[in-house]
Amino acid sequence: MNADRATGSDATASTTHSSRRTFLARAAVTSALPLAAGLLGAGEARASGVLPDYAPIPEASKGPALNDRGYFVGRIDGDLHWVTDSSYQAMFLTTRQGVVLVDAPPTIGHNLLRAIEEVTRANGRPRKVTHLVYSHSHADHIGAASIFGRDVVRIGHTETARFLRRDADPNRPAPTLTFDDHHVLEVGGERLELAYHGPNHSPDNIFVYAPQQQTLMVVDVLYPGWVPFKNLAVSQDIPGWLRAHGIA
Ligand SMILES: [Zn+2]
């Protein structure tokens, strides 16, 4: 993995978006971030109306400036691009056959289409999303999946499919192609390697690796120079979450 090009989670979250979870990991921000100790506990602070004195958000964790539509799209390497609303991220490959999109966060929503249109207009590749990879089943990362229509190939882990069939959310149609351990997706001369390494942030979270671009996307796990979101221990497999860092 090239740490310069790892997408993980949420160091871009600001204090007002602390529940939002995505981040473009950069080696430059991997130094530990010293957090100023709060003068009061959170409960006490709320009760007193006095906020604790936190360290400022590091510049490298704020993400790029957004356009007036509220998104940024940029090239990671070659035909691999990322799009963000400063909190969430998606990644897409433009290929000779169509676009392979990884995740569809609802906060970015239709701006995903605008970002893809912008890039494919510039590079002359087909703009239609033909493949949609789910990192995991959580609605905040794939809740805009339905805007790509019913005939897109949706790829996810077997557990993701089980959760989505159970949830029956029309915004998150279940995968049409599932895998248990590994799946290699080859579309129009581009390649993504999908791997399952056990539960971490969620029981179904996968690793998405683009070998030609040396880019790894692992969602809601990696927080370079940052802290994980609160309630980490409530619903996550903590040993698995820690192990995922070593695997990445
Ligand atoms: Zn999640």
The span from the first CA to the last CA of the chain, in angstroms, equals 7
Higher pLDDT: 60 or 70? It is 70
Question: Ligand 1 centroid vs 201 CA: distance in angstroms?
Answer: 7
**Which runs of consecutive H residues, i.e. helices, occur in 37-170?**
42-48, 111-123, 139-142, 158-167
Mean pLDDT of 162-188: 98
Judged against a pLDDT cut of 60, whether residue 34 lies above it is answered with: no
Question: Ligand 1 centroid vs 103 CA: distance in angstroms?
Answer: 11
Residue 55 is predicted with a pLDDT of 78
Judged against a pLDDT cut of 80, whether residue 243 lies above it is answered with: yes
Q: How many angstroms separate the CA atoms of 174 and 126, rounded? A: 25
Residue 231 is predicted with a pLDDT of 79
> In this structure, what are the phi and psi dihedrals at residue 114, rounded to the nearest 5 degrees?
-65, -40
Question: Ligand 1 centroid vs 223 CA: distance in angstroms?
Answer: 14
Judged against a pLDDT cut of 50, whether residue 35 lies above it is answered with: no
Question: Ligand 1 centroid vs 203 CA: distance in angstroms?
Answer: 10
Question: Ligand 1 centroid vs 200 CA: distance in angstroms?
Answer: 10
Ordered structural domains, the chain, with CATH: 3-31+54-247 (3.60.15.10)
Question: Ligand 1 centroid vs 237 CA: distance in angstroms?
Answer: 12
Name the helix (H) or strand (E) containing 91.
strand 89-94
Residue 111 is predicted with a pLDDT of 98
pLDDT in tens, 98-155: 999 999 999 999 999 999 999 999 999 999 999 999 999 999 999 999 999 999 999 9
Residue 230 is predicted with a pLDDT of 76
The rounded percent of the chain whose pLDDT value lies above 90 is 68
Higher pLDDT: 234 or 167? It is 167
Residue 36 is predicted with a pLDDT of 32
Question: Ligand 1 centroid vs 138 CA: distance in angstroms?
Answer: 5
Q: How many angstroms separate the CA atoms of 11 and 145, rounded? A: 24
Token match 């683009």: residue?
Answer: 210
Average pLDDT, rounded, for the chain: 83
Residue 213 is predicted with a pLDDT of 98
**DSSP state, 15?**
G
Judged against a pLDDT cut of 60, whether residue 44 lies above it is answered with: no
Residue 236 is predicted with a pLDDT of 85
